[in-house]
């Protein structure tokens, strides 16, 4: 498994990154869809940091994680060459899903918020329980006492 990028700070995972030319539009502002890519990279590195190798998980256990829902709130633009941190916290976990709230920041300035619901699937595409050993790896990162913070009004949980 490749070495992880980023670090755990308390119950948060902090993933540092730079905005490259390919991430921006002609004005040098990060293209809106790329915030989802930044969030995905950070969640991948969070898994690596906890010792989860996604390729091995699929090959050896026949399961993988897939995004079921993603929502982005854009607050301020990121620009070419900005140094960013994607801060990830797990805010809810059930037998099959976990919810992550991510904040994309330039220094102390929050630029975007991403809420993601991730489901554990079999290679056949059916929802399956997250194995106990993996759930135990996530527990130290789970924010205690909260269940799906910032979930949009009127939507039901999976």
Give domain status of residue 21, yes or no: yes
Q: What is the pLDDT of residue 144?
A: 62
Q: Which two tokens stand for residue 63?
A: 């399961």
Closest CA to 31 of 66, 72, 69: 72
* Domain tally, the chain: 1
Angle made by CA atoms 74, 80, 82, in degrees to the nearest 5 = 75
State the CATH number of the domain containing residue 101: 3.10.129.10
Burial class (CB in 10 A: 0-12, 13-18, 19+), 72: middle
Per-residue pLDDT tens over the stretch 60-106: 999 999 999 999 999 999 999 999 999 999 999 999 999 999 999 99
Instruction: Give this prediction's pTM.
Output: 0.86
Average pLDDT, the chain: 90
The residue behind tokens 């941190």 is 85
Write down the catalytic residue from 25, 53, 81, 150: 25
Give domain status of residue 155, yes or no: no
Closest CA to 117 of 137, 97, 131: 97
The residue behind tokens 């498994």 is 1
State yes or no: is 99 an active-site residue. no
Measured distance between the N- and C-terminal CA atoms of the chain, rounded to whole angstroms = 31
Give domain status of residue 148, yes or no: no
Give domain status of residue 147, yes or no: no
């Amino acid at each position: 498994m490749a070495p992880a990028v980023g670090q755990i700070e308390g119950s948060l995972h902090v993933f540092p990154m730079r905005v490259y030319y390919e991430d921006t539009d002609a004005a040098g502002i990060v293209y809106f869809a790329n915030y989802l890519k930044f969030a995905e990279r950070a969640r991948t590195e969070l898994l690596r940091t906890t010792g989860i190798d996604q390729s091995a998980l699929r090959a050896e256990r026949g399961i993988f994680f897939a995004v079921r829902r993603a929502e982005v709130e854009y607050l301020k633009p990121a620009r070419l060459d900005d140094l960013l941190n994607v801060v990830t916290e797990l805010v809810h976990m059930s037998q099959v899903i976990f919810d992550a709230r991510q904040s994309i920041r330039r220094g102390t300035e929050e630029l975007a918020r991403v809420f993601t619901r991730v489901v554990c699937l079999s290679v056949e595409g059916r929802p399956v329980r997250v194995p106990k050993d993996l759930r135990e790896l996530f527990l130290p990162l789970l924010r205690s006492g909260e269940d799906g913070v910032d979930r949009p009004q009127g939507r039901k949980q999976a």
